[in-house]
Each structure stands twice: as C-alpha cells, then as structure tokens.
C-alpha cells in the first residue's frame, strides 16, 4: 500500500512499517524458568531439610547440607540423588560451572530416574547459556544429553537445537531439525510454528502455511498454547495479506482473542485488510477503536496515521488534515516526554525505581515482567523488560544483592563471637569489607548497563516517533497539494 497513489489522488501514508516484523520466530526457551527436575526421595529427612531451604531461597544453606551428606553417601542411588539435587541447587543459584563439574563427574550408567534428571539438568544449563548469549556453549551442552531420553525432552532438544541454528541465521539447517518433530506436546507445537515461519521466510509459502495452520487450528488448554495459537493466526493473516488475499487474511485475524497481547496488531492488520477490499469505512472503524487504546504500544501510535489515511480515502480531507495535525501534536508531546525520561535515566532516577521495587517485592519480581514497576517513566520500558539481555542483567543484580546481604550478616555475626580475639575479628571483617567493595563496584557497573539499555530503548522509540511525525507532515502536505479542489485552504 505505501507510496502508491490512491484513487482520490493522495499519496498513501507509509502505514506498513510494521508488516515485515510480523514473521517472528518464538523461543519458549528464552523465558523458561521452571525446570522439569523431579525429587524422587522426598521422605528422606535430609532431602526434606534441603527442600525447605530451597523453598525459602536459602540456597547456600541447602548447598551446605548437600555437601555434608557426600561423606555419608559415597556411592549408590542415594549418592546420585544427592549429587543431582546439589547440581540442581547450583543451577537455581546460577552457579552453572559448579553444576557442570558435578554432572561431568557422574557415571554414564545410573538408574533411569537419575539419568532423566541428569538430562534435565544439562538442558537447564544449555538454556542458561543460550539466554546469556553464548550459543556455542549452549550447543556444546546439548551434546552432553544422553541419547536415551524421553519423548518430551527429545522434542524440547529439537526445538532448542533449531533455535540455536536460527540465531545463527542457519535457517535451512534449522528446518532439517524441525522436520523431524513429531507428537502433540507443547514443544512439538512450538517446533511446527517455527518451522512454518522459516519456510515462509525461505519463500516456501505453501509448505509454511500448512505447518502454521496445524497450530492455528489446535484446541489449546493452556494460556501458553492459546498465545501460540494467536501468533499462528496473526502470522497467517499477515502472509495472506501480503499475498493479496485479504478475505483469507481476515478469517485468521478475526480468530485472535480480544485479550491477546497481539490484539492491537491484529486490529491494525484487520484495518489494512478492509483497505485492500476498498472498505474504508470498516478500516476507519477498526483504526478508530485501536487509536483509543494505550499509546505506549507503538501499534496504537501507528493507528494515529491510519485514521486520517482512511478519512482521506473516503474523501474527508478536512477530517484527515485535522487528525494528522492531532497526530503530529501527539508525536511531538510523546517525543518531549521521552526526552524527559532519558534525562531521568541519565540521573539514575529511573534505574533506582526499578531496582528498589525489586528489592521490595522480592526475588519473584526478577522473573515476572508483570511485577516490574509501571510508572510514568518506566512504562516506556516495557519492551526492554521482556528482553533476554535485560533479564540476564537483572538476574545478575539479584545475585549481587543476595551476596551483599550475606556479607553484611557475616560481618555482624563476627563481632558477636565471644571466643575470638579482636585481632582475628578484624582480619575477617577486613576480608569481608574487600568483598563488599568488589560487589559494590560490580553493582555500579550493572546499574550503568541497565541505564545504557534503557536509553537505547528510549532513543529507538523517539526515532520511531520522529518518523511518524514526518509521515504525518508529508501526508498533510500531499492533501493540501492535491485536495485544494475539495475546498481545503
């Protein structure tokens, strides 16, 4: 549509900046925090004590219990269970290197349950490496999984392997991996969706559409699969709209749930479908509804360009100019607001708000985007909150914060020890002070990294706003240039 002459003689506004972002590959691995690790011996008193510590987030205490049991269970099933639980605890505490040492030391031949848990832990480590951006380490870790693994874990490994290849732009190799994905598990559904997307990217639309349709037509019973179904419908809608089949595109776009995170984009594309069918009144109705939603979503801001575009197509040039001018003012106002937020970030205020909120709400806020603070400033950072890079930085901050608390308690406890001279107390306190200094430096660096990421996110948003503003100004000029005969002065 963009840059084509309309029947009314007006150059169409470049509305489709979003179209080529529609084909996105999904990685459930990036946000997955739950492990499939299972505890098979919960009746053991020491295992129950360890689990109690883990549930209370007392990981160092749990690790201490498990290490002490090594001397009681030197071999056999109890030994394997203890070592695997210790590795699991290390992973939970983000000490992946220590977990790897344990897993590498375990024998290849173990009872079935222990082999299963070992495979799960290798997968957990691989996920962590991938989330940290180390795809090579993630790939090498996958090779350590035992060949005799469950069907579910096999599907998960296939999808993960393909995700690694996709991150390296090796789409053909990724397709070869996913072509073998079978079954009806959630992992298989992710595999089919990603396979469909990649086939379309490689201009194999017919094959890609068939894969995507299997996901779009499934009957999901979990929120995760409902979201995946929405993505499949949205992607199919995009493909058919791109291929000049608006009727088919409409069918898929209308299948997306009203409360779906994709509902705004679905409305934008539904308006484009009606425009392709020359039904601009319906386009206008859809885009007017979208324009009333939260402008934090870039798609809502885009609708501010779509509404006057529809008015112009319907011959309502005065209403078009009025709405373009309103959009320009909104874009300017938002741009100024972002400048203010950037200044706040540079002064450390916004970063302080994020981190202080996390310290108040506890560890769960580090893993749940919905628990991150939403203020007049941080609302512009919702896209950043969801990124893997941000989550990794936040997890590192969490670990540093926990270590700082631990050192503070140790320093206080040392002074309460009665049978220790002041000289020895000072030696230990000085050592703790050095560690505290190192942690303070690392914390400062993480705060700077968060600020840098936030500023990049905000500048990108401001750049989009400036683009929208220029588009609105250009479209208004075109209306004045071409529409004077309609009474515009």
Instruction: Say whether pLDDT at 362 is over 80.
Output: no
Q: Give 200-241 pLDDT, tens digit per residue.
A: 888 899 999 999 999 999 998 888 899 999 999 999 999 999
Q: Which of 149, 182, 198 is the last residue of a domain?
A: 149
Q: What percent of the chain has pLDDT over 90?
A: 36
Q: What is the mean pLDDT of residues 167-182?
A: 83
Q: Give the separation between CA 315 and CA 8, rounded to whole angstroms.
A: 7
Collect all residues with Cβ–Cβ distance below 8 Å to 366 and sequence separation of at least 6: 358, 391, 394, 395, 397, 398
Beta bridge partners of 11: 5
Quote the domain boundaries for residue 355: 341-486
**Torsion over CA: 288, 290, 295, 299 (sign):** negative
Instruction: Say whether pLDDT at 383 is over 90.
Output: no
Does some domain include residue 388? yes
Task: Locate 374 and state its tokens.
Answer: 């939403």
Give the number of other CB atoms < 10 A from CB of residue 6.
17
Q: At what angle do helices 422-482 and 349-361 cross, to 10 degrees?
A: 120
Instruction: Say whether pLDDT at 17 is over 60.
Output: no
Does some domain include residue 471? yes
Q: Give the separation between CA 273 and CA 129, rounded to whole angstroms.
A: 42
Cβ contact 417:425 at 8 Å: yes
Give the number of other CB atoms < 10 A from CB of residue 347.
11
Q: What is the reported pLDDT for 49?
A: 82
Does some domain include residue 217? no
Task: Locate 224 and state its tokens.
Answer: 């995760």
CATH assignment of the domain containing 112: 1.25.40.10
Q: Which of 93, 119, 149 is the last residue of a domain?
A: 149
Does some domain include residue 74? yes
Instruction: Say whether pLDDT at 363 is over 60.
Output: no
Q: What is the mean pLDDT of residues 452-480?
A: 92
Instruction: Say whether pLDDT at 289 is over 70.
Output: yes
Q: At what angle do helices 422-482 and 317-347 cross, to 10 degrees?
A: 160
Does some domain include residue 279? no
Q: Give 238-257 pLDDT, tens digit per residue.
A: 999 989 999 999 999 999 99
Q: What is the mean pLDDT of residues 76-88?
A: 85
Burial of 108 (0-12, 13-18, 19+ CB in 10 A): exposed
Does some domain include residue 225? no
Q: Give the separation between CA 191 and CA 193, rounded to whole angstroms.
A: 5
Does some domain include residue 223? no
Do you know the residue count of the chain?
A: 489
Mean pLDDT across the chain: 82
Task: Locate 225 and state its tokens.
Answer: 């699969």
Count of domains in the chain? 2
Q: What is the reported pLDDT for 466?
A: 94
Q: Which of 149, 182, 201 is the last residue of a domain?
A: 149
Query: By mean pLDDT, which of 109-123, 268-282, 473-487 is the weakest?
Result: 473-487
Does some domain include residue 243? no
Q: Give 128-148 pLDDT, tens digit per residue.
A: 888 888 889 999 999 898 877
Query: Could you give phi then psi for residue 28, rounded to 5 degrees?
Result: -65, -15
Q: Give the separation between CA 132 and CA 143, rounded to whole angstroms.
A: 18
Q: Bin 10: left if φ > 0, else alpha if -120 < ψ < 50, else beta.
A: beta
């Amino acid at each position: 549509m963009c840059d084509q002459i309309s029947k009314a003689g007006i150059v169409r506004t470049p509305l489709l900046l979003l179209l080529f972002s529609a084909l996105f590959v999904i990685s459930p691995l990036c946000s997955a925090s739950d492990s499939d690790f299972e505890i098979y011996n919960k009746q053991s008193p020491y295992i129950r004590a360890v689990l109690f510590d883990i549930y209370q987030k007392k990981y160092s205490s749990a690790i201490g219990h498990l290490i002490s049991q090594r001397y009681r269970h030197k071999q056999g099933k109890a030994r394997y269970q203890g070592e695997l639980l210790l590795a699991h605890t290390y992973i939970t505490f983000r000490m992946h290197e220590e977990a790897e040492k344990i897993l590498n030391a375990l024998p290849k031949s173990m009872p079935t349950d222990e082999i299963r848990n070992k495979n799960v832990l290798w997968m957990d480590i691989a996920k962590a490496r991938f989330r940290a951006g180390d795809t090579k380490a993630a790939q090498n870790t996958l090779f350590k999984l035992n060949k005799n693994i469950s069907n579910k874990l096999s599907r998960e490994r296939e999808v993960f392997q393909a995700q690694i290849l996709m991150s390296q732009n090796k789409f053909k190799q990724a397709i070869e991996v996913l072509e073998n994905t079978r079954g009806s598990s959630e992992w298989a559904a992710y595999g089919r969706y990603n396979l469909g997307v990649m086939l379309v990217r490689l201009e194999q639309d017919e094959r890609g559409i068939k894969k995507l349709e299997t996901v779009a037509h499934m009957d999901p019973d979990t929120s995760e699969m409902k979201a995946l179904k929405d993505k499949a419908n949205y992607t199919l809608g995009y493909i058919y709209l791109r291929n000049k089949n608006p009727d088919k595109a409409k069918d898929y776009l209308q299948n997306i749930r009203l409360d779906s995170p994709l509902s705004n984009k679905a409305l934008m594309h539904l308006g484009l479908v009606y425009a392709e069918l020359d039904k601009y009144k319906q386009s206008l109705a859809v885009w007017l509804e979208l324009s009333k939603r939260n402008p934090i979503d870039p798609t809502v801001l885009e609708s501010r360009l779509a509404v006057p575009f529809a008015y112009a197509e319907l011959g309502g040039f005065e209403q078009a100019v009025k709405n373009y001018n309103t959009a320009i003012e909104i874009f300017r106002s938002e741009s100024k607001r972002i400048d203010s937020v950037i200044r706040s970030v540079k002064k450390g205020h916004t970063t302080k708000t994020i981190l202080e909120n996390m310290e108040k709400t506890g560890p769960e806020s580090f893993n749940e985007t919905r628990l991150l603070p939403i203020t007049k400033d941080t609302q512009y950072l919702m896209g950043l909150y969801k990124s893997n890079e941000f989550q990794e930085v936040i997890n590192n901050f969490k670990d540093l914060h926990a270590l700082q608390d631990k050192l503070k308690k140790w320093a206080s406890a040392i002074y309460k020890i009665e049978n220790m001279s002041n000289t020895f107390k000072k030696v230990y306190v000085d050592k703790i002070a050095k560690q505290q200094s190192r942690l303070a430096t690392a914390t400062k660096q993480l705060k700077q990294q968060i600020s840098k990421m936030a500023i990049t996110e905000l500048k990108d948003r401001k750049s989009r706003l400036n683009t929208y503003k220029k588009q609105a100004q250009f479209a208004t000029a075109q209306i004045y240039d071409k529409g004077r005969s309609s009474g515009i002065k």
